[in-house]
Amino acid sequence: MTAGMRVLLAVMLSSLVVASVNIALLAAGRGDWRAHPLNPAAAGSETWGRRHPSIADRHGGALFQSARGGQEDAGGVPDREGGTLRRLIDWNVEAPGNAGASTTLDGRLQTAAVGALGSLSGVVVIVDVHTGDVLALADQTGPGSGPLAAWPPGSVMKLLSLGVMLDRGLIGPETTFPYEEAFLGIPNAIGACGGTVEEVLGTSCNSAVVRAGRRLAYEDLQRAASKTGFGTPEMLGIEPSRLPSPNDVDETTWPLVLIGQHEVRLNPLSAAVLVAAIGDGGRVHRPQLDATATTPTPTVLFSTDTAEILLEGMLQAASQTLGIKDPEIAIKTGTAESGLGYDHGWVVGLAPATKPAYAFSVVLPGEPGASYSGADAAEVAARLSEDFASGTGNN
Amino acid sequence: MTRNPGIEALVLPTWAACGGALLAVAGRSAWRRIPLVRWVPGLVAAATALAAWSSERGLYLVLTTIAVGLAARRSLRVAGSGLQRAIAVSALCLVGIGMIFQTRLAGPDNGALLAMIVGIGCIAMAHRISAAAAWAVERPWLLVVVGLALYAAGLAGGAGASRTEIPFVLRGVVVAEAARFAVVGGIAVVVVRRRWAWQLSAARSEMAAVALATLGAMVLIGLTGDIGGGVLLAFGATVIVAVLIERVWPVAVGGGVMLASAPALLLVSDHVRERLGSWQQWTVDGKPTQQLLANFAIADGGLLGQGVGNGDPRTVPVVESDFVVAGLVNEVGIVGLALVSMMLIAVVAGGLLVASRSLDSRLAGLAAASCVLLGSQAVVNLLGVGGLAPLTGVPFPFLSRAGTYLVVTCLAVSVLVGIPCGSATNTSRSHGRRIVGGGEA
């Protein structure tokens, strides 16, 4: 072998060894990438499950048991893809690596949420009204969409619009809206409607909301919306809730914004946070999934009076939608038009209705060939209601 | 998590077979003394059939194993020496591992399967491929013309750069790689051989060859914008010249020219600036980059990996391509990486040894350049995946799914396996004639 070939051989071998050793050092822990907050494995319940005998829920029960222990499904909470809490890999971004194996999730509620969805493609989020703890997070929208995507909210948005209007004094408990079939060209789904704020919510009356909302400032709506997670930065594919920019809002589109159309997008987590605030007298809690994290101080979204009015409106909505005189849950449905020939079905609610402990949101995103309405989502809520009533959700 | 017991069951016997085969080719005597080794292909086939029974991807893996087994059997016969047998078996093991991981990470792909069968077919017929290469090297202008024609066809195909395609005929990087190799190598060989016709002095001829080879590569880089592939090919071309003239300085000169041209490339190429700018960039708009996710996948692998079928390397986008090593480490850990690196080193180092013992100087140049090409592609890929260098889009030899790139890689191995060579101590060279031990063969 010539000297040149020897040099070449030495250079090639040393380069290969150096490059391989660099990769090996990464695998051995250099850089501490394993515990990086953006590492899906570090944050994900599923991978915790591989490193720990089990992942505990808030009661100490096993949410996930190690596959290596041969008990993958025992006590685990399934999702539609056959995995166990698979989608949480992408979601839980704040929990620290190994220490964060204790989550706020409630295994029984998580199972109830997955069961309520059944074979439907959708999302169910349940949060603790008084702490903001995420108790269940069932995302069965499939791999095609990101975890917790945001969709047009439809009439669910009226809770926020009317709440801000009540707080700003634009309307009040004494306000009575005229009965009319449409206002500014926006019709009502049920024909003529009006009456008190509670009745407007109960019948999901578009004309009343649009009429009152003419005097509402964009900035006031935006300020309140931001407290429920609107406009937060996107992270790990979680799509933030958002309002259209002020430049995209004019006299024609503003009424549509008030009723949850025209570029308004709502994340089911934000929806649950919004309705939880109504259940907690207007106080909004930042959602938490890490049981070891300190509970943040709540901020005020609505006044107590406003929250009570909205809760009463949701009770009326529950009566009308579910056909029950004294419903055990308070809900608000929404049917959002996509403009593509299919609709998205929404429902948000509180349980128990008289003394809310749980806030939930359900969204059934439409797609070509599959259109959903608020009534469809309400059926999921009704199944959840049975679980709440049967004690599944009792702590 | 969705687990695939079929694939899991398949991989362990495959790794065992790889290790056994490597041991077997350590020497002819060892091969004959270990009777069980003869049964390795049969055992692997049986394990594969068992795995196929419970795996939707089993058919591909069965075909992979059978094809690799047959190719190994054939190449062991045609390889001229124990060193060349080791190269053949290492390469075939890498092809098999690559195919299994690609199928695991990205699902079955008929094109990849076809490329693999063609590639290992080349290794099995290494003696014929080597003879064809010798014939082509005798006609360097033909190499240049064919290379340019391939280039024109590739560019007309629309994709350009390293992903050049000819619809319905060739897919992936084969056109770009083969075309550049033919053009640059052809020019280099022409210049060296024509020095007498042009009445150049030897020194001037050598310098002209290096300059032309480097210039040719730089022009092709400029035409296609594939900086990584172009640089590596230029390096390979200078190695051809270096081996032909039995001097080391062309490699240094070529490397120096290429390094010196880096600032110029930065100035003129938006693509280069973009690649350099994205180096060590961990997030874009709050989302983790491919590089960051690869770091996670590697870090999660640890010493032994998470187990084949038990990891989740698919969090890295297109992991089966340039980042296949991240997927490998995630599932089989440092141990798996070490085994793969050893096999690759066996191919590269063994190939350079074969080149040094070659009885034909022109094929020796081709063999050495092939080794440099494979080795430097692996180094560039590993440096990029490990974050020590910007990503260049260069795939990892044998393992990455990159269209027909595997065919080119196997062609290079075929030259190494089929090239006539003598012993380490008793070799002299001649153009086009085999002279062993002073006698003519």
What are the pLDDT digits (tens) for B233-269? 667 777 777 776 777 777 777 777 777 776 776 676 6
The answer to whether residue A67 neighbours chain B at the CB level (below 8 Å) is: yes
Chain B partners within 8 Å of A2 (Cβ): 246, 248, 356
What are the pLDDT digits (tens) for A313-347? 999 998 888 777 778 889 999 998 877 888 999 99
How many Cα neighbours within 13 Å face the side chain of B254?
33
Contact B292 A38 (CB under 8 A): yes
Check residue A271 and give its pLDDT.
Answer: 92
Q: Grade residue B202 by pLDDT with cuts at 50, 70 and 90.
A: low
Determine the distance in angstroms separating the CA of A4 from the nearest CA of chain B, rounded to an integer.
5
When scoring B249, B298, B426, B427 by the number of chain A Cβ atoms within 10 A, the one with the most, hence best to mutate, is B298
Q: Grade residue A79 by pLDDT with cuts at 50, 70 and 90.
A: very low
Query: Is residue B75 within 8 Å of B88, Cβ to Cβ?
Result: yes
At residue A63, does pLDDT exceed 80?
Answer: no
Least confident segment among A184-188, A360-364, B196-200: B196-200
Q: Grade residue A88 by pLDDT with cuts at 50, 70 and 90.
A: very low
User: How far is residue A389's CA from residue A353's CA, in Å, rounded to a whole number?
Assistant: 11
Q: B309-339: b or e for each residue (b if 16 or more CB lie within 10 Å)?
A: bbbbbbbbeebbbbbbbbbbbbbbbbbbbeb
Q: Is the peptide bond before A233 cis (omega within 30 degrees of 0)?
A: no
At residue B229, does pLDDT exceed 90?
Answer: no
pTM of the model: 0.55
The minimal CB distance from A15 to the residues B310, B379, B385 is found for B379
At residue B46, does pLDDT exceed 60?
Answer: no
Check residue B439 and give its pLDDT.
Answer: 29
When scoring B83, B238, B312 by the number of chain A Cβ atoms within 10 A, the one with the most, hence best to mutate, is B312
Tokens of B142: 């033909």
What are the pLDDT digits (tens) for B361-402? 777 877 887 888 788 889 988 998 988 888 777 789 999 887
User: How far is residue A107's CA from residue B420's CA, in Å, rounded to a whole number?
Assistant: 69
Q: What percent of chain A has pLDDT over 90?
A: 28
Query: Is residue A61 within 8 Å of A107, Cβ to Cβ?
Result: yes
For chain A, positions 84-103, list CB contacts with chain B under 8 A: 84, 86, 89
Chain B partners within 8 Å of A13 (Cβ): 345, 348-349
Instruction: Look at B200 and A78; give whichever has higher pLDDT.
Output: B200
For the range B57-62, what are the long-range contacts, defined as Cβ-Cβ under 8 Å and sequence gap of 24 or more? B57/B4, B57/B6, B57/B7, B57/B103, B57/B104, B57/B107, B57/B108, B58/B6, B58/B10, B59/B108, B60/B99, B60/B103, B60/B108, B60/B113, B61/B6, B61/B7, B61/B10, B61/B99, B61/B100, B61/B103
Check residue B29 and give its pLDDT.
Answer: 46
What SS3 state is found at B33? helix
Chain A partners within 8 Å of B361 (Cβ): none
Determine the distance in angstroms separating the CA of B136 from the nearest CA of chain A, rounded to an integer.
24
Check residue B180 and give its pLDDT.
Answer: 63
Contact A81 B2 (CB under 8 A): yes
Nearest CA in chain B to A1: B356
Contact A36 B379 (CB under 8 A): no
At residue B59, does pLDDT exceed 70?
Answer: no
Tokens of A282: 């207007």
Beta pairing class for A123-128 and A134-139? antiparallel
Determine the distance in angstroms separating the CA of A72 from the nearest CA of chain B, rounded to an integer.
9
What are the pLDDT digits (tens) for B74-89? 777 777 788 888 898 8
| Main-chain dihedrals φ then ψ at residue A303, nearest 5 degrees | -75, 165
Tokens of A69: 């222990």
Contact B288 A236 (CB under 8 A): yes
Query: Is residue A275 within 8 Å of A313, Cβ to Cβ?
Result: no
User: How far is residue B216's CA from residue B240's CA, in Å, rounded to a whole number?
Assistant: 14
Check residue B188 and give its pLDDT.
Answer: 67
Angle separating helix axes B202-224 and B249-268, nearest 10 degrees: 30
At residue A159, does pLDDT exceed 90?
Answer: yes
Residues 6+ apart with CB under 8 A from B424: A1, B353, B357
Check residue B47 and give its pLDDT.
Answer: 54
Mean pLDDT (chain A, rounded)? 77
For chain A, positions 366-395, list CB contacts with chain B under 8 A: none
At residue A283, does pLDDT exceed 90?
Answer: yes
At residue A251, does pLDDT exceed 80?
Answer: yes
Q: Per-residue DSSP letters for A336-368?
A: EE-SSS-EEEEEEEEESSSS--EEEEEEE--BT
Other beta carbons less than 10 A from residue B204's beta carbon: 12
For chain B, positions 308-347, list CB contacts with chain A under 8 A: 310, 312, 315, 325, 329, 333-334, 337-338, 341, 344-345
Please tell me which of A15-24, B194-203, B207-216 the model is most confident about, judged by mean pLDDT.
A15-24
At residue A375, does pLDDT exceed 80?
Answer: yes
Chain A partners within 8 Å of B90 (Cβ): none
Q: What percent of chain A has pLDDT over 70?
A: 74
Check residue B418 and give its pLDDT.
Answer: 87
At residue B223, does pLDDT exceed 50?
Answer: yes
Q: What percent of chain B has pLDDT over 70?
A: 55
Chain A and chain B share a number of CB contacts under 8 A equal to 154
Q: What percent of chain B has pLDDT over 90?
A: 5
Q: B239-267: b or e for each residue (b if 16 or more CB lie within 10 Å)?
A: bbbbbbbebbebbebbbebbeebeeebee
User: Among A142, A190, A211, which Cα is nearest to A374's?
Assistant: A190
